Amino acid sequence: MHTGALLAARATRHGWPTLRQVLWIVVAMVAARSAAMTMNRIVDLRFDRENPRTKQRALVTGALSLEFAWFFTLLAVVVFFVAAWQLNPLALKLAPVAIAILFFYSFTKLFTNWSHLFLGFALGISPAAAWIAITGGLDWRMLILCGAVTLWVGGFDVLYACQDIDYDKEAGLFSIPQRFGIAKALVVARMMHVGVIVFFVWLALSFGLPWPAWAGIAVVAVLLGYEHSLVRADDLSKLDAAFFTVNGYISMLFLLFWGAAAAVWRV
């Protein structure tokens, strides 16, 4: 999302996002994420109660009530709409669409093995949303970044789903590991992450970005390769390191390098 905002401001205004824009984009991002994650826990409550891996989650243990979860979700949605209203008219008009996409993901694991890509798309629309927040319009090139984020998130969600393969089969839930097995799921995740690099290269070329962007792509490629080296079909013990730690570094370093590219970019 932040990369989309930087590219929007530099490409269209030859400047930087205003402090006010950054503030409301961050508010919108936090609110949307909070609403989506809480809705996901509400929809999955029955499965969380049955899955050994998720039995300690707050709604399952009663640390948080279902009523509180619904109230928090509604509050987050309201805050998101206020943030969209503060940004521009198009952002406000599209806010219901964004919420619908975010909430729809929670139901996809009930009917499709490709729910991972729905999750990726739910997060992948954020760069386009940031461009809209800055400019009040949309450039088609943001769809490239949306595609990259969709495949990135979808790929590591496939990895994460490998640990729930037995429960998913028992509960009748859909996922790529459940459908194809862990070994083939790892191949699918790798293919998705190769696609991420292809999209990043396409995006850098389409904007004519300077060398820091290309260095950032190289760093992301190396980290994605390392992430996949940690996970094997017969050994998922390092899955948390691959899922949380490495992806955290990827997001921070990508923003750092592409932020530097935006800074030295002669638009």
The dihedral formed by the CA atoms of 67, 72, 75 and 81, expressed in degrees to the nearest 10: -120
Given pLDDT bands bounded at 50, 70 and 90, which one contains residue 1? low
Residue 133: per-residue pLDDT = 94
pLDDT at 243 over 80: no
Share of residues in the chain with pLDDT > 90 (%): 80
Given pLDDT bands bounded at 50, 70 and 90, which one contains residue 67? very high
pLDDT at 2 over 80: no
- The string of pLDDT tens digits covering residues 36-56 is 999 999 999 999 999 988 888
The residue-averaged pLDDT of 239-252 equals 82
250-255 long-range contacts, CB within 8 A, separation 24+: 250/152, 250/220, 250/223, 250/224, 253/216, 253/219, 253/220, 253/223, 254/3, 254/216, 254/219, 254/220, 255/2, 255/3
Fold of domain 2-264: Tetracycline Repressor; domain 2 (1.10.357)
pLDDT at 124 over 80: yes
Whether residue 243 contacts residue 189, with contact meaning beta carbons closer than 8 Å, is answered with no
Please give the structure tokens belonging to residue 210: 């300077």
- The string of pLDDT tens digits covering residues 85-115 is 999 999 999 999 999 999 999 999 999 999 9
pLDDT at 161 over 90: yes
- The string of pLDDT tens digits covering residues 168-181 is 999 999 999 999 99
For 28-59, b where at least 16 C-beta lie within 10 A, e where not — what string? bbebbbbbbebbbbbbbeebbeebeebeebeb
- The string of pLDDT tens digits covering residues 192-237 is 999 999 999 999 999 999 999 999 999 999 999 999 998 888 888 8
Cα distance between residue 162 and residue 175, in whole Å: 9
Annotated domain spans of the chain: 2-264
pLDDT at 150 over 70: yes
Share of residues in the chain with pLDDT > 70 (%): 99
Q: How far is CA 103 from the centre of its chain?
A: 14
